[in-house]
């Protein structure tokens, strides 16, 4: 690849006068950049806007555009994630962090097979023109030019906020319900016929009202307890989500973690009812089996990329509360083997077994056959990856989506041999509530008076 002149950021630190959720959302709302990603990782927020470098992947290959350098296209060679790594190695911005998303359909193509891939983009990453990281009461601002850095500082110093975010919930019970029940019944037959062990089917709920994504993100984040959260407008895709789990996390020392969640009960406002549902979740053979096979697959996948003897189940079948539901959760961890990178770990576990099935190839066939449309970002990932090799990839669930003028919600349930169609449908309703009750119409999400966001 042609070399380019190294780029650098202008940087400054300022005290943070408001909570990071509000500050990051203010930057998204400001119009400072048309495309952006807001990402929350374990209570630490970042804002990434514009692009000094932009990487995309589709059936033609991997493409890198960056300022002051010619465009680089690596034609499809059957190893797309290695091409992504190669292009990122050519990014000339010092101390970069890339932000972006991967579509579920990347799972079909990551091992080289394009049979089930259309013209859609499979992965889209940016190394931002402006980046703000919020931590320990401070904001670290970085921008490619001093004027934009100053503009970002001015936005963060603004004392006015937004008022009057009034959610307008949508009905999530009826859309596609009958088709979903039938699909679950067919999946149970296939599982009992030993074609596969588990599959996750989802259903789509259209949203007819115009949605304020920034307002929905702020309101929904305050009403949820996610493992990760994100607000995305990138490559024609918009999303505001409250992810219950990560796909994979890799730190700079090569420690790799996957956190499968499988098995669900509702989370209500009644503590007594929640305790009863929790006890039922922990003792239900169907839920325990569904969870156990998911953990086994996560274990097997990490074995492929980890040092021998390093893979361990560090946490097994605890209950995590995520918005309107509670899940069985485990944590599987290992250490990357010599010569392996975060992209190898990502490729090993993507897509999350808890959003696809067991075995994955058989689950893919069933998903393509029974679901009404391609998944796109749903059950894919929103992720960050650092120049030093660290990666954090959130599973895209509990999310509202917009593309090409269309807005929708989507949720699924894990189906095994003991599944009942009505209960699996009810599980999708419970999960959809984590987002549906926080949807803010555009008319109520407009900045008004400084009374608090």
Q: Which are the catalytic amino acids? A: 245
Q: Rounded to whole angstroms, how far apart are CA atoms 305 and 340?
A: 7
Residues in the chain: 453
Q: Is the Cβ–Cβ distance between 201 and 415 less than 8 Å?
A: yes
Q: Kindly tell me the number of DSSP H helices and DSSP E strands found in the chain.
A: 11, 23
R_g over Cα of the chain: 21
In degrees, rounded to 5, the angle at the alpha carbon of residue 359 between the alpha carbons of residues 354 and 365 is 95
Would you give the distance in Å from CA 372 to the centre of its chain?
21
For residue 47, count other CB atoms closer than 10 A to its CB.
31
Secondary structure (3-state) at 381? strand
> In the 8-state DSSP scheme, what is residue 336?
B
Would you list the DSSP string of 162-207?
-----------SSTTHHHHHHHHHHHHHHHHTTS-SEEEEEEEEEE
* Residue among 358, 88, 377, 397 nearest 227 (CA): 397
């Amino acid at each position: 690849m042609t070399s380019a002149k190294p780029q650098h950021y202008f940087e400054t630190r300022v005290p943070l006068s408001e909570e990071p959720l509000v500050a990051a959302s203010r930057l998204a709302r400001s119009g400072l950049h048309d495309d952006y990603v807001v990402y929350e990782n374990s209570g630490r927020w970042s804002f990434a806007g514009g692009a000094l470098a932009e990487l995309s992947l589709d059936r033609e290959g991997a493409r890198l555009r960056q300022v002051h350098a010619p465009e680089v296209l690596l034609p499809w060679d059957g190893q797309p994630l290695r091409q992504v790594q190669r292009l990122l190695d050519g990014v000339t911005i010092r101390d970069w962090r890339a932000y972006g998303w991967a579509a579920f359909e990347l799972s079909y193509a990551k091992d080289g097979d394009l049979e089930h891939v259309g013209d859609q983009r499979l992965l889209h990453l940016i190394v931002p023109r402006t980046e703000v990281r919020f931590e320990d009461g401070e904001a670290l601002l970085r921008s490619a030019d001093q004027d934009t850095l100053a503009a970002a500082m001015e936005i963060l110093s603004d004392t006015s906020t937004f008022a009057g975010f009034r959610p307008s919930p949508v009905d999530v019970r009826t859309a596609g319900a009958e088709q979903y029940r039938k699909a679950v019944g067919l999946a149970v037959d296939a599982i009992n016929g030993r074609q596969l062990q588990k599959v996750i089917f989802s259903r789509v709920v259209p949203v007819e009202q115009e949605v304020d994504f920034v307002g929905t993100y702020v309101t929904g984040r305050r009403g949820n307890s996610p493992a990760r959260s994100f607000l995305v407008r990138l490559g024609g895709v918009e999303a505001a989500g409250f992810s219950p789990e990560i796909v994979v996390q890799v730190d700079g020392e090569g420690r790799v973690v996957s956190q499968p969640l499988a098995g669900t009960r509702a989370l209500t406002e009644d503590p007594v009812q929640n305790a009863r549902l929790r006890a039922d979740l922990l003792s239900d053979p169907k839920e325990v089996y569904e969870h156990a096979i998911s953990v086994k697959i996560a274990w097997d996948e990490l074995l492929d990329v980890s040092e021998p003897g390093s893979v361990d189940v560090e946490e097994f079948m605890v209950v995590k509360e995520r918005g309107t539901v509670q899940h069985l959760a485990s944590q599987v961890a290992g250490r990357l083997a010599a010569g392996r990178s975060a992209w190898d770990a990502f490729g090993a576990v993507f897509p999350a077994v808890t959003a696809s099935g067991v075995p994955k190839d058989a689950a893919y066939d069933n998903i393509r056959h029974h679901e009404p449309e391609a998944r796109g970002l749903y059950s894919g990932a929103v992720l960050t990856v650092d120049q030093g090799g660290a990666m954090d990839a959130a599973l895209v669930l509990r999310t509202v989506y917009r593309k090409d003028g269309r807005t929708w919600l989507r949720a699924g349930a894990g189906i095994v041999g003991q599944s009942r169609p009505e209960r699996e449908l009810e599980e999708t309703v419970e999960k959809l509530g984590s987002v549906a009750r926080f949807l803010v119409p555009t008319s109520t999400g407009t900045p008004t008076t400084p009374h608090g966001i």
